[in-house]
Amino acid sequence: MEKGISLPVANAPMPARESNTRCTSLKTVAKALALGLPLYALYAWHTNQAVLPSFSRGANVDFASQCVQPSPLKPSQNGALDKAYDFLSTEKFLNASVARLSGAVRVKSESFDDLGPIGEDPRWDVFYDFAAYLKKTFPLIHSRLQVDKVNTHGLLYTWEGSNKDLKPTLLMAHQDTVPVPPETIPAWTHPPWSGEYDGKYIWGRGAGDCKNQLIAIMETVELLLESGWEPKRTILLSFGFDEECSGRQGASHLSKFIEDRYGKDSLAVIVDEGSGFEKTWGTLFAKPGTAEKGYTDVYITVRMPGGHSSIPSDHTSIGVLSELITKIEAEQYRTHLEEENPYFTQLQCGAAHSPDFSHKLKKLLSHRHKSAGQETCKAKPDYLALEAARQGGPAIKYLMQTSQAVDVITGGIKTNALPERVRVTVNHRINIGETPQVVYDRLTKLAAHVAKKHNLSLHAFEPASDKPEPANSIILTKSDHELLVAPVTPSLPKSPSGKHTPFSVLAGTTRALYGEEVIVTPGIMTGNTDTRYYWGLTKHIFRWGPGYDEDDDAGLGSIHTVNERVSVKNHVNAVKWFWMFLRNMDEGEVEV
């Protein structure tokens, strides 16, 4: 059932408004009122609670043609390989797989934001243990494949194919996990480094992010080697070790190593960790990530005179910074859906294949198609995006909006001393169609207002300098880790010549394993993976967790928190998927 338009509640806090200039004219408002639009709906429109109904009738749109589903794709029959694949469904394989993944979880491989240089900071040494575990657990891989250790702990496995004219397939995962705060350990059902198996789930840090994917890849390749399969297309396995702190030591070096060996645009396809399955609108969707939002952190520093707190200034540096933070959080970035955003395709797939798809969304989609190519005011509210966000909540809204999160704040050292320096970090994930400059411009404008009010100078995003921070000032700086929105992976169901595409192989493999009722649609990641360093190696990059268990109530919701776990059925299905995907990429004509 569709959600109705929410009325504002008396005395309820006003929602954060979008920071976008409206292109609304009195003529537009008059038209809305003439159509009988109630005043509360105008309020809802202004506060991003709901959207105005379309002013014109929607065009008749063939949504099915916008969401063509590739046929299920299975590898050719082969006696020995078919027998090995059937083994994946046995109790014997399940028990052995549980032991392998549980053992991987028990290797404590946390990565931290403040790690020092490799070879100097002993916290890196845990990855020696993890590499040793992999070598012991997968002996065929380590005896038959070329193994390169890149920047000490990066692992690159190469299985040479017989046809050097075929671009390689690259599978990725990362060895590291986010830390477990010691104070949270008592809240875990099973200890976070136990790898406990309860008959359904394997528990522990890294079980779902993403030692499960790494072990599934290794199990697949080990079993293919054991079965005597010989690939035509070279297969690469690349495992970074600091993905959870941005991959500068791991994936950054591994991607350069691969590029030095093969060159730019040298790979057929990359599959890394990422999004998975979701049941919505009465339909099961598989949503491999074909795009990522951009990224930037902004540091805001306030410098003001110190002194004894018994004779305080009217506003301390903490108060001034708090005022600026309040202004930042009072407005959100605008919600808008560019047509190259994969979520636009997801909506079309919902309209085409989902019985419970919202009538209002379908009408707005039709109107978007009808008005395609017409000049529109960029600042005009995006009714389709606003309605999708209203129905889907924050998880959907932030697929279509630059996010801001005030995450870290420091300042003050003594209760009787005025703080001379305070600093906050604001994290941003940049929407498709925008750049980090949108963030810098907005924060500069807000900071200028606060600086003027308190007679402070503003230094916004100035070039790096060895000079001391200026006194009586607000200073805005950005981190070195700035990332533009990722290039969007093509998601054609067939190439122009009629051959398979990497997307069609991925989608066909998924529908072969899970059934034709699964609708495969491109997805978008709100976070970033190690693929940020691999953009120059191929345009076919998928952030994708291929395991699925319809009875799993944990899923991705358990990662990075207490009680992280993974369903063993999910894990075994991931092995089956990688098995079929590698063989499908090897057998068919794939145009890259």
DSSP 335: B
Strand partners, 458: 474
540 is in an annotated binding site: no
Strand partners, 403: 429
- Identify which of 496, 463, 377, 476 has the alpha carbon closest to the alpha carbon of residue 424: 476
* 526 and 293 Cβ atoms separated by less than 8 Å: yes
551 is in an annotated binding site: no
- Identify which of 174, 146, 140 has the alpha carbon closest to the alpha carbon of residue 159: 146
What does residue 161 show for φ and ψ, rounded to 5 degrees? Answer: -90, 165
Give the relative orientation of helices 502-514 and 568-587 as an angle to the nearest 10 degrees.
140
190 is in an annotated binding site: no
Give yes or no: 176 in active site. Answer: yes
Residue with tokens 């990662």: 559
* 489 and 542 Cβ atoms separated by less than 8 Å: yes
Q: What is the largest CA-CA distance in the chain?
A: 86
- Identify which of 243, 242, 415, 424 has the alpha carbon closest to the alpha carbon of residue 329: 424
Kindly compute the dihedral angle of the four CA atoms of residues 363, 368, 369, 370, in this order, to the nearest 10 degrees: 90
- Identify which of 491, 489, 477, 470 has the alpha carbon closest to the alpha carbon of residue 541: 489
| Separation of alpha carbons 262 and 585, rounded Å | 19
DSSP 569: H
Which strands sit side by side in the sheet containing 277-280, from one edge to the other? 277-280, 283-286, 519-520
591 is in an annotated binding site: no
DSSP 500: B
- Identify which of 489, 437, 435, 497 has the alpha carbon closest to the alpha carbon of residue 461: 437
| Separation of alpha carbons 227 and 84, rounded Å | 7
- Identify which of 494, 490, 470, 460 has the alpha carbon closest to the alpha carbon of residue 589: 494
Strands 283-286 vs 277-280: parallel, antiparallel or unpaired: antiparallel
* 286 and 550 Cβ atoms separated by less than 8 Å: no
| Separation of alpha carbons 18 and 439, rounded Å | 13
Q: Which of 18, 176, 196, 530 is the catalytic position?
A: 176
Give yes or no: 480 in active site. Answer: no
198 is in an annotated binding site: no
Strand partners, 80: none
Which strands sit side by side in the sheet containing 294-303, from one edge to the other? 403-411, 421-430, 294-303, 473-478, 457-460
Instruction: Judge if the upstream peptide bond of residue 210 is cis by omega within 30 degrees of 0.
Output: yes
DSSP helix/strand/coil, 388: helix
Question: Which string of DSSP letters, residue by residue, matches 167-188?
Answer: PPEEEEEES-B----GGGGGG-
Q: Which of 18, 219, 243, 549 is the catalytic position?
A: 243
Known binding-site residues equal 174, 209, 244, 272, 560
Q: Annotated catalytic sites, by residue?
A: 176, 243
Q: Which residues are annotated as a binding site for Zn(2+)?
A: 174, 209, 244, 272, 560
